[in-house]
Each structure stands twice: as structure tokens, then as C-alpha cells.
A and B are shown apart, each in its own frame.
Chain A
């Protein structure tokens, strides 16, 4: 029997993503362009597909139009006649006229979905993480432990554990304590220098999940959040286990990033680059499905040796003319004119970089026209007057700006 037969999969995709402003000013965080041809949610959806999951609810809320369009245009591949589906679910506002108060409330407000499905287990995923994970391993672990809840965890150096929700576990993986941003993170069993941080990926026994979110909904002190409320309240009372996402023998962590802030967004792009990237889109064994495109191949032209592209990802439909592009990610349809320089930049669809313009350490949203000889990333004061500049010094240029030539 299909191991996913009795499992309902729910992807949380309603977060406002305030720390990613301005990228999220008109769309949900999972709908943000990433890695040239992807939206962030494509990684979680591809993980589902590669894990054999064919029935998925995506809970949307804030800025759902862009996400909805992406799902319809590029993920319309489930076959209802085989019982497959990918449904986008905005707040129904049938039983209450409020929006989701938190991740746990989004499940509470959609209990009718679980009632229809009557699954034995519920896999809860987040739409804003970049990673490759076989959820089958997580489910097998959950079943083998007969857990009420299994929390997937990323293995982090113990020092860095101060920034995360840390799971203190016994040798068999049972969680004895959940600590939010602890000063002295408890180590992973057998690895004194490592700690287990919650990834925001969970498998629940369905009846336990229902009981917990109902109880939580009635608690006026709760923020109705899985990480802050549900998990800590279950530890010690229910069978809660931590699944280490990595090699349990060596403690070698696997790649996982929560794209929570602009600098993390920028840094995750750098992870895609180079001959042997930290996070490899070319590995082939775990395909990531992105936007399908009918654009022609990328075109580089001009005098020989005058177009230089190094350590970069260049999507279809890009046109580069005697330009220099280094450690950058170009979405489809970007044009870089003669003499322009693009360094450590993330350019979204249809950006045009004018003659001899220079861009460094920047994220530029779709369709922005950079005028000839304009510079971004070379004058911090001028950049800060016009654009968002991150603590890490990355300039973010939103799609609605009109730039004037110097």
C-alpha cells in the first residue's frame, strides 16, 4: 500500500514575511522568486513530489494571488481521477470572520479538511524553506517510534543553537525539553558539539493534532503557533520525538535554510553557485520543479572574450552583450547591455541593465530598468536614500521604482 495513503499533507504558506520587505510587499513569502526560475515554495513542493506525495493542501492567506497563479500555471499536474490534488486553501471565514491567528489556528480553522480526509497522520510543512528532503524517511521514523508528534530537526553547531528552537532529546530521540533560543543549548545525544534545531516540519498523529489545536484555540494566552505553543505544551505529556535531518551516525548536517530575512535570502543564492555548490540544483537525483518557460536559450554576444560570466546561473531568455557577470543569479529574460557589470547580484525576471551600469551585492525585482551608467552597491549613502539596504549591506530594488540616468 502507498505509505502516504493515510497521511494528509498541509503546507503553511500564509505568513506575511515582514522581515523580507520589500520583496513581500505584494506577495506571500513562499511566492518570492528564488534561484532564477523558482519560487521558494517550489522546494517544498518538489520534496513532496519526489517523496511520492500526491495529495497536498496549501494554506494561503496574506498576498495569495501571486502564489495561487504560480500553483495554477506551474503545478497543475495532480490528477484528480487518481485521487491526487494540490489545493490552495485561503481562510474560508465560514465559521469565523477572523484571519489565521497563527500556524496552529490555520489548522484549527480547517479541521473540516481533516474531517473529510480522516487521515491517520498529518504532515505539516512550511512553504518558505530551501532544502531537499525525503519526507518518507521522516514518516518511517515517526511510525517506528509510534510518536504522537515527530519534529524534524536540523543539526547545528551547539553555539549557533542560541538562535533556534532547540530540542533536548534522550538517546532514543524522545524530546525531554523544548527550549526557545536557549543560552546554553543542550547537545545532540552522542555529539557534544552539536544541537538539534526545529525545522518547522512536523508529523502528527491526526487525532492528537486535532485535540491539541482545539485546546490551543481556547487558550487566550496562546499565540496559536506550533513552535511557540503546541510543541512546548506537548513535550512531557505526549510522545514527542526529534528526527535528525542529517546523517545520524556522523552528525553531518544536511542543507536547510529558512528564508526569513533579506540577508538569508541573498546568502542562500550564493549557496547555489560555484563548481560544487553548498546547495546543488544540478544534482539530478532530486529534481526541483520551477517555472516552465517558452523563452529561447540564453544568448551571449559581442566580440570574443568581451562577455565574461563566472560562477553564475543564467536563465533562459537572458541576453548578455559584452558584459561582466560574476557570482550572480539571473532570472529569465534579463538583458545586460555592453560594458555593464553585475557582481553578486540576484536579478529577477526581465530586469534590464543599461550600458556601462554597475551593480554589486543587490537584489533587483522583476522588470526594473537600470539606466546606462547607473550604479547600485557602490555608494552606501546614495543607495540608502533610495532603497532598502540590509544589515549585511545588500541593496534591494523593488519592481515599482523608476530610476533616472545619472
Chain B
């Protein structure tokens, strides 16, 4: 079973993703801030993919991304944000995908399936 970490400071959005991805058959971990996400990435070797929000209090997703890849450079990361403007940022290019948030998680789920080969 593939393991996904969902990082999003919006409790409702996070819970929706956890529920839907669990239904898809993944083991899903979640946290509301990037600092905790880094601890999980460091300590959980079973992790296969991270869904990372960008705008979060404290450390944002673009700061967290190079740190995540600095620890596990082959870990798949999807940036998942309400804003398309960060696509311009060089820092965002290190992610495997960039998906603009929507109430419908179809695009996100498809990208996860593609990246994990599930």
C-alpha cells in the first residue's frame, strides 16, 4: 500500500483529501504545517508522495519543498494550491506536479495515480 502525506493548513480541505485518498486505497498521513511535515518526511521511510499546500502560516510550501527534496530527493511531491501565480517561481519547478485546488479532487487523484503508477 502506497503512503501519502497531505500537508494543508485548512482543516476542512485536509480532511476532505484524507477521506477521499483513503477511499482510493492509500495509507494517508496528514499535518497542518510544514515543520511537522519535514519531521514526518525525515522519520517515515514508507512515504511515497507528498501533497503540499503553498500558503501556510510559518514555513510555506515553497520553503518546505527544497528541504523535503534535500532529505529524500526521489520522493514525489505535488504542489496543491489555490493560486496559479507560484507556477512562475523557479522553486516550484522542483515539484513533480503543480495542481490548482478545486473542490473536485479528480485531477489530483489522477496525477497521484500517474506518479505512483497505481
Contact = CB atoms under 8 A, between A and B. Distances in A.
Interface in B71-118: 71, 73-74, 89-91, 93-94
B70 A111 contact: no
A160 B85 CA distance: 51
A111 B91 contact: yes
B65 to A, nearest CB: 9
Contacts of A211: 93
A214 B94 contact: yes
A95 interface: yes
B70 A97 contact: yes
What is the predominant secondary structure among interface residues of chain B facing chain A?
A: helix
A218 B90 contact: no
A95 B69 CA distance: 8
A207 B91 CA distance: 11
Given A95-B69, A98-B70, 16 more contacts: A94-B67, A95-B67, A96-B66, A96-B69, A96-B71, A111-B66, A111-B91, A111-B94, A114-B90, A115-B89, A115-B91, A210-B90, A214-B93, A217-B69, A218-B73, A220-B74
A309 to B, nearest CB: 55
A82 interface: no
Nearest to B70: A96
A216 to B, nearest CB: 11
Interface in A87-130: 94-98, 111-112, 114-115
A230 to B, nearest CB: 16
Nearest to B88: A118
A386 B84 CA distance: 66
Contacts of A114: 90
Contacts of A111: 66, 90-91, 94
- Find the residue from B71, B73, B89 having the highest chain A CB count within 10 A: B73
Interface string B39-72: 0000000000000000000000000001101110
Contacts of B91: 111-112, 115
A210 B89 CA distance: 11
Nearest to A206: B90
A218 B73 CA distance: 6
A129 B94 CA distance: 32
A303 B60 CA distance: 76
Given A217-B73, A218-B74, A220-B74, A95 B90 contact: no
A124 B66 CA distance: 22
Given A95-B66, A95-B67, A115 B90 contact: yes
A217 B70 CA distance: 10
A118 to B, nearest CB: 8
A210 B93 contact: yes
Contacts of B74: 218, 220
